[in-house]
A = this chain, B = another copy of it.
């Protein structure tokens, strides 16, 4: 990963073989980023797993052929003391049709270019919403609100 930083903004170039979630989480840990927005990302993913929330779970779809990454957006928070990423993606296949959804997993193909804006001093949480069975973004967690 190559990193360009300007104050609280980051432009990242991820290289072939990198895991999207691991690389972003690793940056968040090393830079102590606790609140941010994954503003956009393009590139290519060699494989990806998309989810559709059906009310109980993420119905998955595995993409094993490389796809052009045409949209990548989401948020960076902290949950249980670790970086928590929520990403959605749209991906175009060899015939240029687009599939998308909640991104469960993604490995960079050729490369990925990602733009990240962070809010130093801010602290987003992602507590478990027990009634629904998933974590949801909390923009203003109190001192004990990140668990």
Contacts and interface: CB of A to CB of B under 8 A. Distances in A.
Interface of A: 2-4, 6, 9, 11-13, 35, 37, 39-44, 50-54, 59, 61, 66, 68-71, 73-75, 86-90, 92-102, 110-111, 113, 115, 117, 119, 122, 124, 132, 134, 136-140
Contacts of A86: 42, 113
**What are the nearest 10 A-B pairs in CB distance?**
A4-B139, A92-B100, A70-B100, A42-B88, A40-B73, A92-B101, A98-B98, A68-B101, A71-B71, A96-B99
A139 B2 contact: yes
A42 B102 CA distance: 9
Given A52-B96, A75-B113, A98-B90, A4 B124 contact: yes
